[in-house]
């Protein structure tokens, strides 16, 4: 099955030639990705990768990138963080439609990971909710990729937790 996802990295400060880097990534197995370098010191790879599972596809892509740029720092696997407009575009409805669902079902709609002028959610729980509570038909591969992306992003961020704080607040944040 084909899985669509994006990997974003911060590049090491050793002034890699971006054209050479793109060529090396392609040779290392990332020939199934569109590669962009819009921001200095950053690279994004938009994959359509075949795999036995979303996890296998994403992990193999991460391994391919790390072979070429071992010191690159993973910023994010996507799709994961999403606003209501992102969710609406993904499922083919309007922003207002998703907002009405969120407001009408505030008690069961997933909580955002950031609430502010622009709220952000992990995409996987929102897609699961749309399937189970609102009857949306969402491709299994899309849900699987969002779930694996969320898991990798959470694992990446969890490395920053100091053990005493982790133990003390673990029961308080659930």
Please give the backbone phi and psi of residue 68, each rounded to the nearest 5 degrees, phi first: -85, -40
85 and 116 co-located in one domain = yes
CA–chain centroid gap for 57, Å, is 13
State mean pLDDT over 72-99.
96
64 and 91 co-located in one domain = no
Q: Is the pLDDT of residue 37 over 70?
A: yes
More confident residue, 27 or 162: 27
Count the residues in the chain. 174
Which CATH number belongs to the domain containing residue 60 in this structure?
3.30.70.3400
Q: Is the pLDDT of residue 166 over 80?
A: no
Which CATH number belongs to the domain containing residue 122 in this structure?
1.10.1660
64-85: pLDDT as tens digits: 999 999 999 999 999 999 999 9
Count of the separate structural domains present in the chain: 2
pLDDT at residue 15, rounded to an integer: 64
DSSP 8-state secondary structure symbol assigned to residue 171: G
74 and 85 co-located in one domain = no
Domain termination site, one of 79, 97, 118: 79
Mean pLDDT for the chain?
93
68 and 14 co-located in one domain = yes
Query: Could you tell me if residue 170 is inside a domain?
Result: no
């Amino acid at each position: 099955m084909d899985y669509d996802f994006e990997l974003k990295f911060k590049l090491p400060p050793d002034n890699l030639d971006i054209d050479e880097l793109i060529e090396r990534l392609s040779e290392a197995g990332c020939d199934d990705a569109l590669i962009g370098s819009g921001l200095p010191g950053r690279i994004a790879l938009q994959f359509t990768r075949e795999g036995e599972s979303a996890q296998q596809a994403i992990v193999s892509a991460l391994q391919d990138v790390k072979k070429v740029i071992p010191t690159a720092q993973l910023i994010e696997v996507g799709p994961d963080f999403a606003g209501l407009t992102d969710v609406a575009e993904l499922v083919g409805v309007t922003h207002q439609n998703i907002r009405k669902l969120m407001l009408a079902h505030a008690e069961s709609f997933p909580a955002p990971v950031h609430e502010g002028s622009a709220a952000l959610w992990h995409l996987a729980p929102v897609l699961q909710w749309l399937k189970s509570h609102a009857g949306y038909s969402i491709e299994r591969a899309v849900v699987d990729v969002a779930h694996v992306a969320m898991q990798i992003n959470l694992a990446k961020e969890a490395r920053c937790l100091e053990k005493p704080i982790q133990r003390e607040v673990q029961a308080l944040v659930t």
